């Protein structure tokens, strides 16, 4: 085992960020819109028949990752787009202690865009949707489970000679053809009603049924499993969210479609499209068969290669527009969030069926089943994931709502159709079917968010109160000291938001904090009569400190120096601001101002010259369009 691990280690680059790749078309959207309130994370779990051993699971992960070498990345931010950079750290294993599918912070822990955890008999593989889609995640989770069972049963470790990682080519671009414009459906759809769960909690209610029972019903209606389940979900939405007679808005499902079934592709990057399957507003259906007929027709019309090519064309054409590519990332963020929210409101919920999970025949009996959990949030209130294994199908609802009306009606409908369903929950919204196989969520992060908001409000209150007192006493004390109070409050708020709450990198914290300090120094100088000490001495000294600090970070972490290069460029640009103060006459003693500019430019040039090809590579990845 030691030799095998050493063999994989030798194959890896020892330099952090030695290689990089662009995000695929779909990943760019996920990277822009994701955060604490919309994680874009989904989970595939393998439920074993014995308790999971943490040490063996970690060894299994180290065996699995080299077979998916392009999963060994971290998400980085460029000027125009996000990108993936190689990550030579070793991933860690953690015991599940919180709600599933929570946001994966790209700045924390080992910085991988995935998380592996365990609880009881269950192995969890949670992944940021920007890295891969359901098929890629299922393959990784299956291989991880196989390697774990090999170690558990003292069997020979079988590794794949061919890596599962043809990820570098974006198949969206590969199959892009310029076609007539097509737009996504954006008419607002029915939303799942009820109260929201506390922040950082998510309800789970899953049902397990026999595939043979389901197929028998599908044969009766002459439809596929996906068509039958989609129609049953849509029927359940109509029964729970309307009066059963009229629909004020469409009832709609967001249905991901695996494009590999229609195009010659083996990529494990994202390669899927979504279709909107709906019942229109107006008259409600009279029975399930009417819904099934409607759903079957829509899927036959939309899930064909020609229509899917139109979807690819629409998505990629926007990315290819020169003016879109040239827009800075922070502006793209705002635009993508608006587009995402606009398209998200056009469906009631998401239904994702990723097909069967496969485990080697000699290990198959050690696995009870697999489950797919798709992260829900107040922005996307309920989702349903389906995965089959060994003759059983697991349908798992994830919900940000405190009620279970929709999944309960859905499972009851299946049982009325002659399909027995064994239910299980995580105890958040359903105590009856809780079997104790999920952790008890003790922390309520909503309270933390509320406390942070109250702190921000207190800063605003103090600033306003200081302003009122200052105004009332200005005749006695003619000094605008309340502006200094407001500036200090703004600095504290910035520190909390960008340096504490976001777990930013040390270099990023340094730049933001120094900018805040410079603003405070200038404000103090202005309020006390603008004697010039801030622009003559203080601000240039802060710039020199920033330059020295960034250089020190580069020297200490030489193998990962490129992580600080963009911050060095930013500091060099900002070092010219004191020259503006000199130009407008604020600066009376420019020696330190000129010295700080010369030193920052010289440091940047030295980095460029010493970095050689590495600098060109860093500039190319940071500013790729």
Q: DSSP letter string over 57-69? A: HHHHHHHHGGGGG
Non-local (6+) Cβ contacts of 548 within 8 A are none
pLDDT for position 517: 82
Q: Which residues of the chain have pLDDT under 70?
A: 1-18, 160-169, 181-185, 442-449, 476-479, 481, 494-508, 559, 612
Q: Which of 173, 206, 229 is the last residue of a domain?
A: 173
Closest-CA residue to 194 (of 346, 384, 406): 406
Q: In Å, what is the CA distance from 393 to each residue of 85, 272, 308, 388, 438?
A: 37, 22, 27, 4, 20
- Distance CA(351)–CA(372), nearest Å, equals 11
Whether residue 430 lies inside any domain: the answer is no
Both 234 and 138 in one domain: the answer is no
**Count: domains in the chain:** 3
Both 271 and 320 in one domain: the answer is yes
Whether residue 180 lies inside any domain: the answer is no
- Distance CA(285)–CA(229), nearest Å, equals 17
The CATH number for 353's domain is 3.30.559.30
Closest-CA residue to 36 (of 269, 272, 202): 202
Both 199 and 247 in one domain: the answer is yes
- Length of the chain equals 625
Give me 440's structure tokens.
Answer: 């008890």
Which residue shows structure tokens 């004390």?
Answer: 477
Both 7 and 126 in one domain: the answer is yes
- Distance CA(41)–CA(30), nearest Å, equals 10
Are the beta carbons of 77 and 17 closer than 8 angstroms? no
Give the DSSP per-residue string, 81-131. SEEEEE--SPP-EEE--S-TT----TTSTT--SEEEEEETTEEEEEEETTT
Are the beta carbons of 43 and 96 closer than 8 angstroms? no
Closest-CA residue to 221 (of 235, 208, 209, 207): 235
DSSP 537: I
Both 122 and 221 in one domain: the answer is no
The CATH number for 111's domain is 3.30.559.10
Both 454 and 581 in one domain: the answer is yes
Both 53 and 80 in one domain: the answer is yes
Whether residue 89 lies inside any domain: the answer is yes
Segment 551-607, tens digit of pLDDT? 888 887 776 777 777 788 888 888 888 888 888 888 888 888 899 899 999 988 888
- Distance CA(559)–CA(577), nearest Å, equals 31
Both 202 and 350 in one domain: the answer is yes
Whether residue 608 lies inside any domain: the answer is yes
Q: In Å, what is the CA distance from 138 to each residue of 143, 171, 353, 373, 619?
A: 9, 19, 12, 12, 35
Whether residue 431 lies inside any domain: the answer is no
Number of C-alpha atoms within 13 angstroms, CB side, residue 454? 6
Whether residue 615 lies inside any domain: the answer is yes
Are the beta carbons of 5 and 73 closer than 8 angstroms? no
Whether residue 356 lies inside any domain: the answer is yes
Both 215 and 362 in one domain: the answer is yes
CA 542 from chain centre, in angstroms, equals 35
Q: Which of 119, 141, 173 is the last residue of a domain?
A: 173
Q: Which residue segment(s) compose the domain that 535 sits in?
A: 445-622
Both 222 and 293 in one domain: the answer is yes
pLDDT for position 319: 84
Give me 273's structure tokens.
Answer: 């499209």
Q: In Å, what is the CA distance from 301 to each residue of 294, 295, 296?
A: 11, 10, 9
Both 110 and 21 in one domain: the answer is yes
Which residue shows structure tokens 């933390």?
Answer: 448
Residue 379 gets the label, from left (phi > 0), alpha (psi -120 to 50) or beta, of: alpha
CA 255 from chain centre, in angstroms, equals 19
- Distance CA(406)–CA(398), nearest Å, equals 11
Whether residue 434 lies inside any domain: the answer is no
pTM value surpassing 0.75: yes
Both 226 and 82 in one domain: the answer is no
Give the DSSP per-residue string, 556-598. HTGGGGGGGHHHHHHHHHHTTHHHHHHHTT--S--HHHHHHHH
């Amino acid at each position: 085992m030691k030799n095998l691990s050493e063999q994989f280690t030798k194959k890896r680059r020892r330099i952090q960020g030695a290689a990089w790749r662009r995000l695929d078309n779909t990943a760019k959207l996920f990277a822009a819109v994701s955060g604490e309130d919309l994680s874009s994370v989904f989970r595939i779990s393998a439920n074993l028949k014995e308790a999971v051993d943490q040490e063996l699971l970690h060894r299994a992960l180290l065996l699995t990752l080299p077979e998916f070498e392009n999963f060994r990345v971290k998400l980085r931010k460029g000027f125009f787009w996000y990108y993936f950079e190689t990550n030579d750290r070793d991933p860690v294993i953690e015991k599940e202690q919180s709600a599933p599918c929570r946001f994966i912070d790209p700045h924390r822990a080992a910085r991988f865009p995935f998380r592996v955890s365990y609880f009881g008999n269950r192995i969890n593989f949670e992944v940021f949707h920007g890295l891969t889609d359901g098929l890629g995640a299922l393959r990784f989770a299956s291989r991880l489970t196989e390697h774990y069972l090999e170690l558990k049963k003292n069997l020979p470790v079988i590794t794949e000679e061919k890596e599962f990682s043809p990820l570098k080519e974006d198949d969206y671009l590969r199959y892009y053809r310029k076609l007539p414009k097509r737009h996504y459906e954006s008419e607002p759809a029915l939303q799942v009603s009820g109260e929201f769960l506390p922040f950082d909690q998510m309800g789970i209610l899953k049902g397990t049924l026999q595939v043979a029972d389901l197929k028998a019903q599908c044969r009766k209606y002459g439809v596929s499993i996906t068509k039958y389940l989609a129609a049953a979900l849509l029927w359940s939405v109509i029964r729970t969210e309307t009066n059963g007679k009229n629909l004020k808005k469409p009832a709609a499902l967001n249905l991901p479609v695996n494009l590999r079934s229609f195009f010659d592709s083996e990529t494990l990057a994202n390669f899927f499209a979504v279709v909107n399957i709906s019942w229109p507003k107006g008259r409600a259906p009279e029975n399930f068969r009417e819904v099934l007929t409607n759903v079957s027709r829509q899927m036959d019309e939309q899930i064909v290669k020609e229509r899917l090519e139109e979807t690819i064309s629409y998505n990629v054409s926007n990315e290819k527009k020169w003016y879109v590519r040239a827009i800075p990332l922070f502006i793209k963020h705002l635009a993508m969030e608006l587009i995402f929210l606009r398209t998200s409101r056009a469906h009631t919920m998401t239904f994702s069926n990723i097909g069967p999970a496969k485990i080697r025949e000699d290990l198959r009996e050690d696995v009870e089943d697999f489950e797919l959990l798709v992260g829900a949030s107040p922005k996307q209130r309920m989702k349903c994931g389906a995965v089959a294994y060994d003759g059983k199908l697991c349908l798992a609802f994830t919900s940000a709502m405190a009620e279970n009306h929709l999944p309960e009606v859905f499972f009851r409908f299946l049982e009325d159709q002659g399909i027995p369903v064994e239910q299980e929950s995580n105890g958040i919204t359903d105590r009856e079917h809780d079997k104790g196989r999920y952790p008890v969520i003790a922390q309520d992060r909503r309270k933390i968010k509320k406390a942070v908001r109250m702190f921000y409000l207190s800063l605003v209150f103090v600033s306003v109160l200081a302003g009122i007192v200052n105004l009332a006493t200005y005749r006695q004390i003619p000094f605008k000291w309340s502006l200094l109070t407001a500036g200090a409050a703004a600095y504290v708020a910035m520190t909390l938001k960008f340096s504490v709450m976001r777990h930013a990198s040390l270099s990023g914290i340094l730049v933001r904090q120094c900018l805040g300090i410079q603003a405070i120094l200038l404000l103090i100088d202005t309020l006390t009569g603008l004697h010039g000490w801030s622009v003559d001495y203080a601000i240039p000294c802060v710039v020199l400190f920033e330059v020295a600090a960034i250089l020190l970070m580069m020297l200490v972490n030489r193998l990962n120096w490129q992580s600080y290069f963009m911050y060095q460029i930013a500091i060099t640009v900002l070092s010219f601001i004191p020259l503006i103060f000199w130009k407008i006459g604020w600066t009376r003693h420019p020696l330190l101002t000129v010295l700080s500019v010369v030193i920052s430019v010289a440091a940047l040039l030295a980095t460029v010259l010493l970095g050689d090809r590495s600098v060109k590579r860093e500039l190319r990845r940071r500013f790729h369009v």
